[in-house]
Structure 1
C-alpha cells in the first residue's frame, strides 16, 4: 500500500500543477500513467515513480492501439492451429523488423532483469532455458506428479501480461467513474456494486484492482472537485481496441479548500 499511495501522491501533484495553470485535463491520460506506474513498481521492481517519463508506458499504449484488422489476424482467429504453428513465428520475426510495439515491449523486459515480483518465477526457472516436453512421449497420468519448471520466455510473457492487464482496465474503470461523476451530478437509485464478473475465470487481480481504484478515487475526490468543461463530452466516444477504451475524458479541476 505505501508504494501505491506514493504513486498516487505524485499523480495528485501533477494534477495540481495542471489545475494551477488553468488547463482542463484529460483524466484518462493521467489514470493511464498512474496505474501503469503502480503495476511497474509492484510487479516489475521499478524503484521510483516515472509518470509521464516511462518508455514502457508508451509501448503498452501502442500495443493496445493495434487494431488486428489484417488478413493474417483473421486467418489466425478462424483457424487457431494455423496461427499457432505457421503465423506466430512469421509475425514474431516480421514484428522485430517493423518494430512491432509488442515485440519491443518483450525485448525491453528481457533487458530489464532486475525485478521484484518476477522473482517468484525466476525461482522455478530451468537451467539452460530448456524443458523436456517429450518425456514419456508427452503422456502423463492425471495422478502423476512432476516438477514444474519455467523457461525464460514464459517468465517474460507473464511480465507482459502483468503490465498490460494490470493498468489499462483499471484506468478505463476510473475514467468512466470520473466521467459519470461529472455528467450525473445527482445520485440515482442504488442497485448493486459489481465491478468484476464472476465464475471460474474471474480476474486474478480483482482485490488488488478494487483496492487500487478506491485509494485513487478517495485521494482524487478529497483533493479536487470535478467539474464539467467545454471539452467534456456528454457521451464518450469509445474506441474499439483490445479492451474497449473510453478515449479522452476532459474535466475541470477545482482544488478543495
Structure 2
C-alpha cells in the first residue's frame, strides 16, 4: 500500500508539474498559443515544412510583440519590441548570457567539446577572447587566397553545367562552395573536394528534417538528455547521427594535425604560417584573465588556461564548419534570387564590380570598395534572416525587463522576421527589396535594435566578417561573367522550409554569359 501511494503521488506530482509549466504564461497574464498538454508548442517549433520562425511571425500578429510559449518543460518569452531586445542582449547581458539549448546538445558547463555557440558565462568569454584573433583582418587576408581558389573552382563547374543555357539550382552549388571553403580553412582539407566532398551529405542532413523524437525527448525529459546524447554519439552508425559523424571527422583532423606538428617539431622543422583554423586555434592564446565561475558572470578571481584544449579546438572547428557551411550558402542563394528578380539592382551591382574589380584576381582591398554589394547583402539578410535560432537567451538570474518579471530559467527568443519587416523601423516599403536604404549608413538601424541577422551585443556572430568576405568574393566573380535570370523552374515566391535555419526549397536560375565579356 505504501509503495502504491508513493507511485501514485509521484505520478500526480510529475503530471502536476507538467501542467504547471504548460499553464505558466497564462498564470503570468501573458498571452500566447497554448499548444498541447505536456508538449506545448514543441511540434510547431520543429515543423520542417512550416519554418518555426515564420510561425512566430504569425503568432506575433495574433498576440502582439510580447507573448509566451512552452515547449515541454521549456518556457519561452517571444519578443519583437526593440527596447526589450536591447535590454536583454546589451543592457542586461550579464543576466542573459546563456542560450536556449536542448539537453541533447550537452551541458555547456561540462561538455569537453563545448562550442562557442553553446558555451556560456566565463567559459564563453574565455573561448571568445582566444578565438577573436582568428577572424582578424590579417588572418582573413590569408584565408582570402583559399576562398578565391574555391570560387574559381565553382565557376569551372558552373561553366560546365550551364552549357547550352541549362538552369541550375544555385543553392546546391553554393553549398558545394561553402563546404569546400570551410573544409579547407577549418578542417585541414588540402585541396578542393567540390562535388565529391564526403562531408557535404552529413552537413545537409544536420539542417534537414529534424529528428523530432530525439529532440522531443530532450525537452520533455531533460534529465535523460545527457544520457541520450552519449548513446547517440557513441553509436554513431546505429543512429545515423550526421552531427556525430562530422564531429568524428573533425576530431580526427585535429588529432592528425597535432601529430604532424609534433613530428615536425621533433625534426626541427619550422612550423611556418598557420595552414587553417586548426593551426590558428592550436596556436591561439589570450591575454591573462582572471575568471570566477559560470554562476556570476560579473565577478573575477580565478586564473584559467590561456590556450584551448584539444577538445575545445575540435568543438570550435566543428561549429565553424556547421555554421559556416549553411548560413553563407543560404545568404548567397537569397542574394542571387533577389538580384535575378530585380534586374536594375543587379545591373547597378555589376557596374560597381566592373569598376572596382577590373583585374582577373579580386583582392582583399577591392572587396572593401564594393559598397553597393554590401547594401545588397545587408538587405538580403534583412528580408531573409537565416539563423534566427541564435537570437535567443536564457535568463540566468531573475530580473525585470520593461514591465515583465523574468524568472531564472526562462528563455527569451526574438521574433527576428517580424522585427526585420517592422514598418515603424523600415518604412512603408519594408516588404520591398531596396538595397539603397543602406546607402546612408546602417547605424540608425542597429541603434534601434531592428536589425539582428548576426545577433546583437557581446555574442554577435564571430564569423560575420568571414561570411561577408566569402559572399562578396564569389558574387564578384559570378556577376563579372554572368547575369542571373529567373527561369520556368524558379519558385516565385520562394517556398521556405527548415527548422534550424530558414531555407529555400530550391533556387533555380539561369546564369547567362554577359554580352560585354
Q: State TM-score, norm by structure 1.
A: 0.84
Report the 3-state secondary structure (helix = DSSP H, G, I; strand = E; otherwise coil) of the residue aligned with 1:20: coil
Query: Which residue number in structure 2 is paired with residue 249 of structure 1?
Result: 507
For 1:190-216, what per-residue CA distance to the aligned partner results, in whole angstroms no more than 9, with x for missing partners? 212666443221110111111111111
Q: 1:205 to 1:98 in 2, by over 3 A?
A: same
Contact 1:31 1:174 in 2 (8 A): yes
Q: C-alpha root-mean-square deviation of aligned residues, in Å?
A: 2.8
Moved more, 225-234 or 40-49: 40-49
Match of 2:192 among 49, 54, 72: 49
Report the 3-state secondary structure (helix = DSSP H, G, I; strand = E; otherwise coil) of the residue aligned with 1:119: helix
> How far 1:66 moved relative to its partner?
4.1
For 1:5-37, what per-residue CA distance to the aligned partner results, in whole angstroms no more than 9, with x for missing partners? 111111111111122143210001111111111
User: Which structure has the higher relative contact order (CA within 8 Å, separation 6+)?
Assistant: 1
Query: Which residue number in structure 1 is paired with residue 459 of structure 2?
Result: 201
Is 1:75 the counterpart of 2:217 in the alignment?
Answer: yes
Report the 3-state secondary structure (helix = DSSP H, G, I; strand = E; otherwise coil) of the residue aligned with 2:504: coil
Contact 2:207 2:498 in 1 (8 A): no
Looking at structure 2, the residues matched to 44 and 96 of structure 1 have their Cα atoms a distance apart, in angstroms, of: 21
> How far 1:152 moved relative to its partner?
3.5
For 1:81-134, what per-residue CA distance to the aligned partner results, in whole angstroms no more than 9, with x for missing partners? 542x3332233234442332112212222333237321244458xxxxxxxxxx
Which has the larger share of strand? 2
Query: Which residue number in structure 2 is paired with residue 229 of structure 1?
Result: 487
Contact 1:225 1:254 in 2 (8 A): yes
Looking at structure 2, the residues matched to 208 and 139 of structure 1 have their Cα atoms a distance apart, in angstroms, of: 32
Looking at structure 2, the residues matched to 103 and 253 of structure 1 have their Cα atoms a distance apart, in angstroms, of: 37
Contact 2:151 2:477 in 1 (8 A): yes
Is 1:88 the counterpart of 2:346 in the alignment?
Answer: no
Looking at structure 2, the residues matched to 196 and 146 of structure 1 have their Cα atoms a distance apart, in angstroms, of: 29
Aligned pair count? 244
Report the 3-state secondary structure (helix = DSSP H, G, I; strand = E; otherwise coil) of the residue aligned with 2:232: helix
Looking at structure 2, the residues matched to 146 and 167 of structure 1 have their Cα atoms a distance apart, in angstroms, of: 32
Query: Which residue number in structure 1 is paired with residue 159 of structure 2?
Result: 16
Match of 1:100 among 221, 235, 241: 241
Larger radius of gyration: 2
**Alignment of structure 1 residues 143-182 onto 2, 5 Å:** 143-148=301-306, 150-182=308-340
Looking at structure 1, the residues matched to 295 and 209 of structure 2 have their Cα atoms a distance apart, in angstroms, of: 38
Looking at structure 1, the residues matched to 310 and 458 of structure 2 have their Cα atoms a distance apart, in angstroms, of: 28
Is 1:185 the counterpart of 2:343 in the alignment?
Answer: yes
Looking at structure 1, the residues matched to 304 and 461 of structure 2 have their Cα atoms a distance apart, in angstroms, of: 27
Moved more, 187-196 or 230-239: 187-196
Unaligned runs of 5+ in 1: 125-137
Q: 1:119 to 1:180 in 2, by over 3 A?
A: same
Is 1:109 the counterpart of 2:270 in the alignment?
Answer: no
Q: State TM-score, norm by structure 2.
A: 0.44
